[in-house]
Structure 1
Amino acid sequence: MVGKNASYDGSTLIARNEDAGEAVHPKKFVVIHHEDQPSEYHSKLSKFSIQLPDNPVRYTSVPDAAVDEGVWGEAGVNAHNVAMSATETITTNSRVLGADPLVKNGLGEEDLLTITLPYISSARDGVERVGSLLKKYGTYESNGIIFSDVNEIWYMETAGGHHWVAQRIPDDAYVIAPNQTGIQEVKFDDPDNFMFSKDLLKFVEKYHLNLTSNFNFREIFGSDTQLDHHYNTPRAWYGQRYFNPESVKDLSPMSNKLPFINYADRKITIEDIKFVLSSHYQDTPYDPFAPGADYKTNPYRPIGFNRNQELSILQLRPYVAEDHAAIQWLAFAGNPFNTIVPFYTHILDTPDCYRDTTTTLDSHNAYWANRLISLIVADHYQELMADVEDFQLKSLAYGHQRIAKVDKAVSGKKGGELMQALSQANERTADRIMKDTEELLTKLVTRASDNSRGAFTREHY
């Protein structure tokens, strides 16, 4: 999360990795129009059901390719230029879960984008809608949820079946949130910057949950386990080390003292966010791709790794017309080896090579092409990573060029004409990136094959 005064161009920037439980979990990029939004929603996982409002607006989504497993929309922007990331699975301690148990048939990550994003007109609206849903239905898991509009970013964390806190991210700050409760000091007399379930204070007092004199949401509701020290905190440590290394120079990757709100020593760019969300402890002793490293003994979970499925950076720009201000930068599969592509969200449809993902391998599809690249390069990192980095540099430059060109080309267009123009622009962007991706894949397969295990030539005689 990057506040508008902390970003390079005044945009609010929110971003997320989606990591599945397995390495191959195909994703697609779609736009849902109001007529395609269901009036009644049924969860596949928890059997949660809800009657939805009758006024949905258009929104983008990055759902699973396997429709029988539920939606899992994860990240998108709606027609009001409100962005949402749903969700980041986080942790809650046993005392809280004993007082407010999770709800088996409640809502969860599978559902939240679909039942929230089409019905909100601001980031604050998003918090209020999810808060009301939690009160009525409860949740079967603890989650972190991000909402943004062109002015504000709100981060919401649930705890137990029904309780939650949301904090407005300061405009000049950034936040890196691993899979762990993060919000710290809560100010109950500051409604401009904090929202919370109405009975939160009484709940904490009734069940004797606060062990200190202040109200630190992370300490009261979160966890601080050995798993956290190896799976969660090292990722926040590395991200903070990247943006302002002095702040963590005396802290270890396992420290539970890492701050939630942070302030970088420079403006933060799209490239910075992509680097952090693709990182694997480069230039530290914990990099699994360093020469001679044994990834099986690495003590810390990287950010960029084999179970990445999609990365979305949702950019809401204040300096262009509202009807083409929102951009969803998107990448599929393993983040160390992919590139991020800018797509306008005020569109009629998404490019077919990003939209029509199936569960069967297809090298002409963006997810599968990048999955193949990540598989090949992970096993030939030192030989092939220079080719990948050259591709990433050129494709990111192309992405910025496309935004400038398309902004100029659509200036003055409105309504359906604009949506058609932006949809066609996205198609051309995707076609170029897919052409370059397929060329990279060909090069990597060729080079890796020459040096594969069991290679033998006549020169060996």
Structure 2
Amino acid sequence: MSCTTILVGKNASYDGSTIIARDDDSGSGRYDPKRFIAVAPADQPRHYRSVLSHVEIDLPDDPCRYTIAPNVLNNRGILAEAGANEHNVAMSATETIAVNERVLGADPMVELKPAHGEPGDVDHRDERPGGIGEEDIITLVLPYVATAREGVIRLGELLETYGTYESNGVIISDVDEIWYVETIGGHHWIARRVPDDCYATIPNQLGIDDFDLADAFGERREYLCSADLREFMAAHHLDRTMDAAPGHFNPRKAFGTATPKDHIYNTPRAWYMQRHLNPSEDWDSPAARHTPESDDIPWCRVPEAKISLEDVDFLLSSHFEGTPYDPYGTAGTAESRHRYRPIGINRTGHMVAIQVRPYAPAVNRTVMWVSFGSGPFTAAAPFYANVNDTPAYLRDTTPEVSTGNLYWANRLIAALADAHFYETSNAIEGFAESARAYGHRLVERTDAELREMTAQTSASESQESAGAAEITENASIATIARLQQSNEEMAEYLRTHVTKLLNDVLYTSSNLMHNSFAMSDRWN
């Protein structure tokens, strides 16, 4: 998928959480409806077959419960895209990236080879399945891991065993760590842990710019990779390092691309995100070290201030505000305002920022901040991940247009407001601020109620130790029910206020139609 990713280490975030966030954008000319669902262990397949590549994989018999934001239509597979499981492991998959021709020559993609002819024909050849890809990864990994590191290892084993037919970046996090995995050709991969005091930005481009092979093949504290990566690189002369520290190399130069298309489509997005989070640097003058078309924008860096969910929501909805490249702006020229691909684009299906909070108990630790549709015209709202079911307003998205669900309501608002951006901006900004504020209050209130429920359960257990196990089980059921109630409250808030916003934007846009006429007959 065409996407933009920002990862926030726990010491770089405003409250000590790890935060992984990604826009999921459809390809040009396509709009994929999205939904938000919980998957019970009983609903997880035990034998998996990919829709696109036809690869078949037997899965373990002990999956856990997890919550995801997949496509509505199954024509290209599940495409779970973003999810969190009951062990508070979060994933976002995938960020489409690209590797260069040298890599593809050394380790080709594992593509589906259709059967030729009929069985019994002299030239008949059975179908050869392809590898795993975006449609498969969360489904194959998330239900079976209890830590982010376990997720990286499982994904790596799947890539080495089955290969892949596309280049992807995959994010896996827990309360302590964020790992970013990049696929290298058909069977190889690298992974780097985001430093705790840093954020990382990835705009559809192989991004890791430093890799420590000594650590990857030693303590494996910050770096992981496929078992034969060193031999693979040496055999095919892939390392282009000139000035890295001993044992280090630059994967972006070794494996990635730097084309004119990257300078239009990818690098400007990294430039803008880092411009926002490190504003004291020179980003705009002729002497600026990094421009929108620079190939050496760092993969990660320390921000100047701790990063909030509002920063994440703004950045993944942004369209180069405050620069000559804003398609809704007045600076620059008509050409500059459409020179680069914005982050908040018309084709966004959803943005999910997954927050794993160290100060919350395990049962309510993970919150998924979800928005559907084009980012500049909506806002992310919080939903607890550890639930058995999700609100119908987000779960039951229809394949066709309907104002009865969040995805299509937001799509309609964006399409109406786009042509009248400034006339509708006050209503949209007011909605976004109010929705996020309500979301923060709701989470704090729910957390407080859960603390009180836990205290009461502990008191009951101490008084009735013989029935402690039953008390604990009942408390767990009650806790998840309370999380689902909170999610329903958030969904109902959105239903009410998104409907009002649609009404306001429709009214404003109707008054600005080109065939409008102020005079009416005397009876009106």
* Cα shift at 1:69: 2.7
1:184 to 2:214 alignment: no
Q: Distance in 1 between matches of 2:364 and 2:354?
A: 13
1:353 to 2:387 alignment: no
Corresponding residue for residue 362 of structure 1: 402
SS of alignment partner, residue 363 of structure 1:
coil
Q: Which moved more, 1:356-365 or 1:289-298?
A: 289-298
* Cα shift at 1:211: 2.3
SS of alignment partner, residue 201 of structure 2:
coil
SS of alignment partner, residue 110 of structure 1:
coil
User: Per-residue CA shift, 1:389-425, capped at 9, x if unaligned?
Assistant: 0111111100100001111122235311111111111
SS of alignment partner, residue 458 of structure 1:
coil
1:421 to 2:482 alignment: yes
1:19 alignment partner, one of 14, 18, 25: 25
TM-score of the pair, normalised by structure 1: 0.97
Q: Distance in 2 between matches of 1:284 and 1:296?
A: 9
Name the aligned partner's letter for residue 34 of structure 1: P
| Contact 1:65/1:359, CA 8 A, preserved across alignment | yes
| Contact 1:311/1:331, CA 8 A, preserved across alignment | yes
Corresponding residue for residue 128 of structure 1: 153
Q: Distance in 2 between matches of 1:261 and 1:425?
A: 35
Corresponding residue for residue 99 of structure 1: 106
Q: Distance in 2 between matches of 1:203 and 1:248?
A: 39
Write the mapping of 1:46-445 to structure 2, written as runs, cut at 5 A: 46-104=53-111, 105-190=130-215, 191-213=220-242, 214=244, 215-247=249-281, 249=283, 250=288, 251-291=290-330, 294=334, 298-411=338-451, 412-413=453-454, 414-445=475-506
| Contact 1:23/1:308, CA 8 A, preserved across alignment | no
* Cα shift at 1:295: 7.7
User: Per-residue CA shift, 1:36-69, capped at 9, x if unaligned?
Assistant: 1011111111112211111100001111111233
Q: Distance in 1 between matches of 2:178 and 2:519?
A: 63
Alignment coverage as a number of residue pairs: 461
* Cα shift at 1:24: 2.5
* Cα shift at 1:459: 6.7
2:512 alignment partner, one of 440, 451, 455: 451
Name the aligned partner's letter for residue 226 of structure 2: S
Name the aligned partner's letter for residue 192 of structure 2: Q
| Contact 2:68/2:83, CA 8 A, preserved across alignment | yes
| Contact 1:153/1:169, CA 8 A, preserved across alignment | yes
Q: Distance in 2 between matches of 1:381 and 1:297?
A: 14
| Contact 1:240/1:247, CA 8 A, preserved across alignment | no
Q: Distance in 2 between matches of 1:36 and 1:247?
A: 50
1:296/1:37 CA distance change after superposition, 3 Å: farther
SS of alignment partner, residue 76 of structure 1:
strand
Name the aligned partner's letter for residue 74 of structure 2: V
| Contact 2:325/2:337, CA 8 A, preserved across alignment | no
| Contact 1:286/1:300, CA 8 A, preserved across alignment | yes
User: Per-residue CA shift, 1:137-182, capped at 9, x if unaligned?
Assistant: 0000010000110001111111100111100111000001110001
Name the aligned partner's letter for residue 178 of structure 1: P
Name the aligned partner's letter for residue 149 of structure 1: D
Q: Distance in 2 between matches of 1:295 and 1:14?
A: 33
Q: Distance in 2 between matches of 1:261 and 1:440?
A: 37
Q: Distance in 1 between matches of 2:106 and 2:316?
A: 35
Q: Distance in 1 between matches of 2:136 and 2:423?
A: 42
Runs of at least 5 residues in structure 1 that lack an aligned partner in the other structure: none
User: Per-residue CA shift, 1:268-320, capped at 9, x if unaligned?
Assistant: 00000000000100010000011486489711100001010000000001112
| Contact 2:324/2:336, CA 8 A, preserved across alignment | no
* Cα shift at 1:23: 5.0
Name the aligned partner's letter for residue 448 of structure 2: K
Q: Which moved more, 1:399-408 or 1:42-51?
A: 42-51
Q: Distance in 1 between matches of 2:51 and 2:421?
A: 39
* Cα shift at 1:189: 2.0
| Contact 2:369/2:382, CA 8 A, preserved across alignment | yes
* Cα shift at 1:257: 1.4
Name the aligned partner's letter for residue 229 of structure 1: H
* Cα shift at 1:247: 4.2
Q: Distance in 1 between matches of 2:336 and 2:372?
A: 24
Name the aligned partner's letter for residue 423 of structure 1: Q
Name the aligned partner's letter for residue 35 of structure 1: A
Q: Distance in 2 between matches of 1:106 and 1:184?
A: 26
| Contact 1:23/1:306, CA 8 A, preserved across alignment | no
2:42 alignment partner, one of 30, 35, 46: 35
| Contact 2:328/2:337, CA 8 A, preserved across alignment | no
* Cα shift at 1:248: 5.3
SS of alignment partner, residue 315 of structure 1:
strand
Runs of at least 5 residues in structure 2 that lack an aligned partner in the other structure: 1-6, 112-129, 455-474
Q: Distance in 2 between matches of 1:137 and 1:186?
A: 25
* Cα shift at 1:246: 3.8
1:319/1:25 CA distance change after superposition, 3 Å: same
Q: Distance in 2 between matches of 1:458 and 1:285?
A: 39
SS of alignment partner, residue 181 of structure 2:
strand
* Cα shift at 1:185: 1.6
User: Per-residue CA shift, 1:56-108, capped at 9, x if unaligned?
Assistant: 00001111111233100000110100000011000100110011000011100
Q: Distance in 1 between matches of 2:211 and 2:84?
A: 28
Q: Distance in 2 between matches of 1:6 and 1:120?
A: 25
Q: Which moved more, 1:243-252 or 1:75-84?
A: 243-252
Q: Which moved more, 1:14-23 or 1:264-273?
A: 14-23
Name the aligned partner's letter for residue 289 of structure 1: Y
Q: Distance in 2 between matches of 1:222 and 1:246?
A: 29
SS of alignment partner, residue 17 of structure 1:
strand
Percent identity at matched positions? 45
1:9 to 2:15 alignment: yes
